[in-house]
């Protein structure tokens, strides 16, 4: 332990104070113990003799009562008190010692034993109706009682004399003990007071300076200087560490301010980027809408002109009404959501335009689960699929061909599908249309409608929606396999759009 440290100084001086106080306490304790011991011996011996006399009186009374009445209750009381008297007598000294009080205790113990022997003999003779024996034993026990009382009084006098002698010797030394204790206490108190004065200033002065500097730091005054304390102990180390900490805090606050300013600028830039991304997303959705095949408008308008030329008004009116309704629907922003019922209505208008152009060349079937009619879905999904089914799936058929449109709903998603019984697609064509393989040269715009729908589904559902294509290829010239139903080779393409219910 280093004495030049605050801890070492406090411990060393405290040890001196504790040593002085310990000496005073030990001295006082020893003298007090001597007095307590002598008084304790006095009271314990007197108490033992008192119990002996009381037990002797009760035993003698129970014996006399039994001999006179031969009552069983008196005999029980006799046995109980005689047993207690024997236990007390065993606590007395039974050895030969060179001490008057101990020798008296030995005689008293032996005499009690003789008394109990005579009383037992007296009780036995009484129960055996031996009058002479119990009479002699009773007389002997009476003599023993008197001797026991005499010896007990003598022993008590000796105990009192010894205790008074010890107490007198202790009492004569009490003034010296009090004076010695007073000197020790005063010396320890003065020494402690001197140390307290010295260290109260030595310890508190630099701590007060540090506390003032800490309050300044708490107020945010990091430039306040701490005066040198000129100490090498723990307080000096603490002052140095505090100065270093204050400087580090000041630098940290400066860095935090700089970082906060940079983060604010970054946040502003991020908000600008997010706004631009949002605008780009809206622009992309609108651009996707504008990619609807313009040949459709040209062909349908040509068909409308032909109908208007060959017929008078009814069919032309219905055709133009469906065309206008479809155009109005398709020119809305494609990033909106519509009810499934509206999307089906758009598909019906488109199909009526196709029928106006091709007549009964194609068969159309629409199967919609009524539970889906009020569910929201991205707009203009079915029309591009129907157009692809006619253009690419059934385009090479001279006549016939069927397109089935269906809308179903599960607990988690909506399923919109368009099926055609056309020539079908190979696995490579499906991968190319879905963007999983690059386009081959010369493919033109085949599949552009599906790609646009796929991108709008992904954008509108934040990537949760998807498009699946199932297709089987065959030819009307192929020979059907044995056992094929109706002798027809299975063929056709089914495009399914899976949308989450919340879309």
Q: What was the pLDDT predicted at 271?
A: 85
Q: Are 373 and 338 in contact (CB under 8 A)?
A: no
Tell me if residue 255 falls in helix, strand or coil.
Answer: helix
- Is the pTM value of this prediction over 0.75? no
According to DSSP, residue 398 is labeled S
Tokens of 338: 């519509």
Averaged pLDDT for residues 450-461: 84
The confidence band for 485, taking pLDDT boundaries of 50, 70 and 90, is very low
Nearest to 447 by CA among 250, 241, 252, 291: 291
Element (H or E) spanning 433, and its range?
helix 427-433
Q: Are 334 and 288 in contact (CB under 8 A)?
A: yes
Integer Rg of the chain from CA: 61
Q: What was the pLDDT predicted at 482?
A: 38
The confidence band for 498, taking pLDDT boundaries of 50, 70 and 90, is very high
Residue with tokens 């190319």: 432
pLDDT at 403 over 90: yes
Q: What was the pLDDT predicted at 442?
A: 41
Residues in the chain: 503
Q: What was the pLDDT predicted at 222?
A: 65
The confidence band for 479, taking pLDDT boundaries of 50, 70 and 90, is very low
Q: Which residues contact 305 (CB under 8 A, 6 or more apart)?
A: none
Query: Where is pLDDT greater, at 164 or 294?
Result: 164
Q: Are 107 and 166 in contact (CB under 8 A)?
A: no
Cα 496–Cα 498–Cα 503 angle in degrees, nearest 5: 140
Question: How many Cα neighbours within 13 Å face the side chain of 394?
Answer: 24
Query: Where is pLDDT greater, at 456 or 441?
Result: 456
> Which of 137-146, 175-184, 212-221, 373-382 has maximum average pLDDT?
373-382
β-pairing verdict for 376-378 and 363-368: unpaired
Query: Where is pLDDT greater, at 84 or 199?
Result: 84
β-pairing verdict for 337-339 and 363-368: unpaired
Nearest to 469 by CA among 500, 429, 412: 429
Beta-bridge partners for 365: 404
According to DSSP, residue 201 is labeled H
Pick the CATH number of 6-208 from 3.40.50.300, 1.20.120.1730, 1.20.1260.10, 1.10.8.80: 1.20.120.1730
Q: Are 501 and 416 in contact (CB under 8 A)?
A: no
The confidence band for 484, taking pLDDT boundaries of 50, 70 and 90, is very low
Averaged pLDDT for residues 39-63: 77
Q: Which residues contact 386 (CB under 8 A, 6 or more apart)?
A: 347, 350, 351, 354, 403, 405, 418
Averaged pLDDT for residues 218-239: 67
CA distance 455 to 467: 10
pLDDT in tens, 305-346: 566 666 665 666 667 666 666 766 666 655 568 899 999 999
Q: Is 359 left (phi over 0), alpha (psi -120 to 50) or beta?
A: left
Beta-bridge partners for 420: 403, 493
Q: What was the pLDDT predicted at 368?
A: 95
Q: What was the pLDDT predicted at 302?
A: 57
Beta-bridge partners for 466: 498
With a pLDDT cut of 90, the percent of the chain lying above it is: 11
CATH architecture of 290-476+489-500: 2-Layer Sandwich (3.30)
Phi, psi of 475 (to 5 degrees): -140, 145
Query: Where is pLDDT greater, at 178 or 288?
Result: 178
pLDDT in tens, 148-181: 888 888 877 877 777 677 667 666 766 777 777 7
Tell me if residue 24 falls in helix, strand or coil.
Answer: helix
Q: What was the pLDDT predicted at 4?
A: 61
pLDDT in tens, 191-227: 777 877 776 777 677 777 777 777 777 776 666 666 6
Q: What was the pLDDT predicted at 446?
A: 47
Q: What was the pLDDT predicted at 462?
A: 84
β-pairing verdict for 376-378 and 337-339: antiparallel
Mean pLDDT over the full length of the chain: 76
With a pLDDT cut of 70, the percent of the chain lying above it is: 68
| Cβ-based neighbour number of residue 22 at 10 Å | 12
Question: How many Cα neighbours within 13 Å face the side chain of 203?
Answer: 12
Averaged pLDDT for residues 27-35: 68
Q: Are 156 and 42 in contact (CB under 8 A)?
A: no
Tell me if residue 425 falls in helix, strand or coil.
Answer: coil
Nearest to 386 by CA among 451, 304, 449: 449
Q: What was the pLDDT predicted at 130?
A: 79
Q: What was the pLDDT predicted at 467?
A: 93
């Amino acid at each position: 332990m280093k004495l030049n440290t605050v801890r070492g100084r406090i411990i060393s001086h405290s040890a001196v104070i504790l040593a002085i106080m310990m000496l005073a306490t030990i001295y006082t304790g020893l003298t007090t113990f001597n007095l307590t011991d002598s008084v304790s011996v006095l009271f314990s011996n007197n108490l033992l003799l008192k119990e002996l006399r009381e037990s002797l009186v009760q035993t003698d009374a129970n014996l006399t009562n039994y001999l006179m009445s031969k009552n069983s209750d008196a005999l029980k009381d006799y046995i109980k008190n005689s047993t207690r008297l024997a236990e007390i007598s065993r606590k007395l000294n039974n050895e030969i010692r060179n001490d008057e009080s101990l020798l008296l205790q030995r005689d008293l113990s032996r005499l009690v034993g003789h008394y109990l022997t005579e009383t037992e003999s007296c009780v036995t003779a009484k129960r055996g109706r031996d009058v002479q024996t119990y009479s002699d034993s009773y007389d002997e026990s009476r003599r023993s009682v008197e001797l026991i009382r005499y010896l007990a009084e003598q022993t008590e006098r000796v105990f009192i004399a010894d205790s008074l002698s010890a107490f007198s010797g202790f009492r004569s030394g009490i003034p010296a003990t009090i004076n010695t204790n007073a000197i020790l206490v005063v010396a320890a108190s003065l020494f402690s007071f001197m140390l307290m004065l010295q260290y109260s200033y030595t310890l508190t002065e630099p701590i007060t300076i540090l506390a003032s500097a800490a309050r300044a730091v708490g107020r945010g005054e990091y430039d306040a200087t701490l005066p040198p304390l000129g100490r090498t102990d723990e307080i000096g180390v603490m002052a140095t560490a505090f100065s270093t900490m204050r400087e580090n805090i000041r630098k940290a606050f400066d860095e935090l301010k700089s970082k906060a300013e940079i983060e604010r600028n970054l946040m502003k830039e991020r908000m600008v980027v997010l706004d631009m991304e949002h605008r780009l997303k809206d622009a992309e959705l609108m651009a996707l809408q504008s990619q609807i095949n313009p040949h459709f408008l040209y062909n349908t308008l040509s068909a409308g002109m032909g109908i208007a030329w060959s017929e008078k008004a009814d069919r032309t009116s219905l055709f133009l009404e469906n065309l206008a309704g479809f155009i109005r629907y398709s020119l809305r922003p494609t990033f909106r959501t519509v009810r499934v019922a509206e999307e089906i209505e758009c598909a019906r208008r488109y199909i009526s335009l196709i029928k106006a152009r091709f007549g009964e060349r194609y068969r159309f079937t629409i199967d919609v689960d009524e539970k889906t009619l009020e569910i929201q879905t991205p707009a203009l999904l079915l029309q591009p699929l129907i157009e692809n089914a006619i253009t690419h799936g059934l385009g090479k058929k001279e006549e016939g061909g069927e397109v089935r449109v269906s809308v179903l709903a599960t607990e988690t998603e909506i399923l919109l599908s368009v099926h055609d019984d056309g020539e079908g697609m190979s696995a490579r064509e499906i991968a190319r249309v879905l963007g999983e393989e690059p386009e081959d040269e010369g493919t033109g715009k085949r599949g552009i409608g599906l790609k646009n729908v796929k991108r709008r589904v992904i954008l509108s559902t934040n990537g949760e929606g998807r498009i699946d294509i199932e297709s089987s290829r065959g030819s009307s010239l192929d020979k059907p396999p044995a056992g094929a139903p109706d002798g027809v080779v299975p063929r056709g393409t089914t495009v399914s759009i899976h949308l989450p219910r919340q879309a």
